[in-house]
Chain A
Amino acid sequence: MPDLITMISVATIATIVAAATPLVFAVIGETITEKAGVVNLSLDGSMLLSAMTGFAVAYTTGSLPLGFLTAALVSAGIALVVAFASIEFRLNQIAVGFVLTLLAANLSAFLGRDFVRKPGPFVPSMPVPGLSDLPVVGPILFNQNPLVYASLLLIAGSFWFLFHTRPGLDLQAAGERPEAAFARGIPVNRLRYLYTALGGALVGIGGAAFSLDVKAGWADGHVANYGWIALAIVIFGGWHPGRAALGCYLFGLLQIMALKLQPELPNLAQVLPILPFPMMIMTLVIVNRPAVKRLAARSGVLGRLLQGEPPGGLGRAFWRE
């Protein structure tokens, strides 16, 4: 076993932060959507399709911003289908999301066939002058690319927005107790459309952050399964942006550890990259243990760290009788 100290060096932490960035966008996007009461289960397909379109557009036009914009629009469009089907037709959000995830995944393979394994543009590194020279924090947070900075701002910004602004509290009310919110004059369904689209757009940026940065390029099933992990991390994060981001970095840490263990355990070399996925999902078991929940309820700090309940109106359509 390589010793833990060298594994968790400053450089490694910087790598983890960079590698987890696409997931941070997706997870915070989905957290916002679910906070408003809508489950967008299409994440896995959405990320594939937005990764593909983001790469294809940036490759063809040479413009990275245009790539990210298209990716955001594609993914927001898919998310809006979920919202529309739930709000207008009261269809099951899980069912519609699941169909969309398979559909978008197949579309990404079909439409992306001309872009497979082509060298394309990627987001350049851009150290922040002055701050990047700080010890420890400098290399981890300020010697990265603009996407990483944007993801850090997003974590802080979404936390502030959700818990400390009027519109953020309205959003939570729409997801938590839609009937009561409506009685107070909050346009529940309009907010659900808005935040499902916004969350979807962030998921799309996450997809493009893979194909234009962390896993630059495109191939069939290029970022498959990351969307499912993102959905699991939303639960792990207890619908809180800070904890959700922590979950993304934890997953990044598991991935780096799997990578570093490969030479040590050649027998498992092919299996190790898969392991972080079930491990991340299985952490949900621990978080859900009654004993852990009781412990969390008793301790303030631990409670805030471990406890998270889903929004009360999550997955349920809302209508006026």
Chain B
Amino acid sequence: MITRAAETLGTLAPRLIAVPVALAVGLLLLWVADAPPLQTLRLLIEGSLGSQQRIGDTLMVWAPLALACAALVVTFTAGLWNIGVEGQIVAGAIAATWVARELSAPPAVVMASMLVAGTAGGAAWAGLLGVLNVRGGVHEIFGGLGLTFVATGAVIYLVLGPWKRAGVASTSGTDLFPREVWFPTMAALRVSPLAVGLGVIAVVGVFLLLRRTRFGLRLRATGQGRAAAARLGVPTERYLMYAFLLSGALAGIAGAVLVGAQHHKLVPSVSGGYGFLGILVVLLASYRIHWAAPIALFFAIIANGSVQLQLRLDLHSSLGGVFQGVLVLAVLLAGGWQMRRARERDRKAAARA
């Protein structure tokens, strides 16, 4: 046990070099922008953790991001680059909005139906991508991007056309949903326990599914080498489709959460890049969901804090994105450097033997 912990530390330590590197780049950017570093850091933390209200808001960024990460871990495990997760979030949001607008039933039924519809919408969009990829031979990156463009186009069409606000069509979105179908929030906070709970369930569920079930084992085998998995009797094409569908379902829930608990209406930029940010988080977590969940929280803190920096210091909110990107790049490079050193050590040892 101790040796294993030491080993983990040994592999982690070189990667931790990446953190000061990313911080140094962050400081450099602040210097370029002529901003006081300490005050910036203080505002960043206050902006995301400074009050109950702010912590709640940060959790509300975490929930869809964690769902997106869970979705992505599933497809990455199958060896697929599901960049289309962004479009699947949007498809889920559209489906959930449709239910919120059309279904007249008790609020609890409407909300549950919104989640079901979101799940189905996201899964359908990912299923389409799966067919394009598995049957059509289109690389999932490009099929996914194409379908994301279509989903974005559909949102703009709906917001300005059939679902436009009473009287005026505006890019600010559709009419707000009736108050009673807004996902309930805790007391005075804007945090929805349902949204955060779904994020937690998705993270735990995906962890158990991948680590503790035959399904997870076969999915991992498919991801590590399709030919070999097929020889072991795994129906790989079917497993790839399962991965797409499950990933899309989780992304669709994120979409339903975004319209049900955050915007309370459909807006053109309903996802606003959660899918892409999720890919960064999952890369940083080496495709492991139990690391992705806390990293997603860290990214949510940066994202929320950046909004404050824009308001208070007039720093462009893209600064947070730059810092996140530098951090992930630095960690990837540090990991690669470490593996290279390990290879060189092995080679020397082999030469001596």
A residues with CB within 8 A of B: 41, 81, 85, 88-91, 94-96, 98-100, 102-103, 105-107, 109-111, 113, 220, 225, 228, 231-232, 235, 267-268, 270-271, 274-275, 277-278, 281-282, 284-285, 288-290
Roughly how many angstroms separate A134 CA and B324 CA in the complex, as a whole number? Answer: 54
Question: Does any Cβ of A come within 8 Å of B127's Cβ?
Answer: no
B321 touches A106 (CB 8 A): yes
Give the residues in chain B near A98, CB-CB below 8 Å: 83, 279, 283
B residues with CB within 8 A of A: 29, 32-33, 81, 83, 132, 136-139, 141-143, 145-147, 149-150, 152-154, 156-157, 160-161, 276, 279-280, 283, 316, 318-319, 321-322, 324-326, 328-329, 332-333, 335-337, 339-340
Closest B residue to A81 using CB positions: B329
Roughly how many angstroms separate A111 CA and B83 CA in the complex, as a whole number? Answer: 26
Roughly how many angstroms separate A81 CA and B150 CA in the complex, as a whole number? Answer: 32
B329 touches A96 (CB 8 A): yes
Give the residues in chain A near B154, CB-CB below 8 Å: 271
A85 touches B332 (CB 8 A): yes
Give the residues in chain A near B325, CB-CB below 8 Å: 99-100, 102-103, 106-107
B339 touches A89 (CB 8 A): yes
A271 touches B157 (CB 8 A): yes
Give the residues in chain A near B276, CB-CB below 8 Å: 102
Q: Which of B29, B161, B333 contacts A91 (CB 8 A)?
A: B333
Closest CB of chain A to B179's CB: distance in Å?
A: 29
- With A228-B142, A277-B145 given, name 11 new contacts (CB 8 A): A89-B339, A94-B141, A98-B83, A100-B325, A109-B316, A109-B321, A232-B145, A274-B149, A274-B152, A284-B143, A289-B136
Roughly how many angstroms separate A195 CA and B178 CA in the complex, as a whole number? Answer: 58
B321 touches A99 (CB 8 A): no
B136 touches A270 (CB 8 A): no
Q: Which of A88, A100, A268, A274 contacts B329 (CB 8 A)?
A: A100
Give the residues in chain A near B147, CB-CB below 8 Å: 278
B142 touches A277 (CB 8 A): no
Task: Tell me if B's interface is mostly helix, strand, loop or mixed.
Answer: helix
Closest A residue to B161 using CB positions: A267
B332 touches A91 (CB 8 A): yes
A288 touches B156 (CB 8 A): no
Give the residues in chain B near A88, CB-CB below 8 Å: 336, 340
Give the residues in chain B near A103, CB-CB below 8 Å: 321-322, 325-326, 328-329
Closest A residue to B325 using CB positions: A103
Q: Which of A90, A270, A278 contacts B146 (CB 8 A)?
A: A278
Closest CB of chain B to A270's CB: distance in Å?
A: 5
Give the residues in chain B near A220, CB-CB below 8 Å: 318
Give the residues in chain A near B283, CB-CB below 8 Å: 95, 98-99
Give the residues in chain B near A281, CB-CB below 8 Å: 142-143, 145-146, 149
Closest A residue to B318 using CB positions: A109
A270 touches B329 (CB 8 A): no
A274 touches B142 (CB 8 A): no
Q: Which of B83, B142, B280 contacts A232 (CB 8 A)?
A: B142
Interface centre among B32, B152, B153 (most CB of A within 10 A): B153
A285 touches B153 (CB 8 A): no
Closest B residue to A84 using CB positions: B333
B322 touches A278 (CB 8 A): no
Roughly how many angstroms separate A90 CA and B343 CA in the complex, as a whole number? Answer: 11
B81 touches A270 (CB 8 A): no
Roughly how many angstroms separate A180 CA and B336 CA in the complex, as a whole number? Answer: 26
A111 touches B32 (CB 8 A): yes
B153 touches A275 (CB 8 A): yes
Give the residues in chain B near A275, CB-CB below 8 Å: 153
B329 touches A99 (CB 8 A): yes
Closest CB of chain B to A225's CB: distance in Å?
A: 8
Closest CB of chain B to A138's CB: distance in Å?
A: 36
Q: Which of B139, B324, B336 contacts A90 (CB 8 A)?
A: B336
Closest A residue to B319 using CB positions: A110
Closest CB of chain B to A58's CB: distance in Å?
A: 20
Closest B residue to A89 using CB positions: B336
Roughly how many angstroms separate A77 CA and B328 CA in the complex, as a whole number? Answer: 18
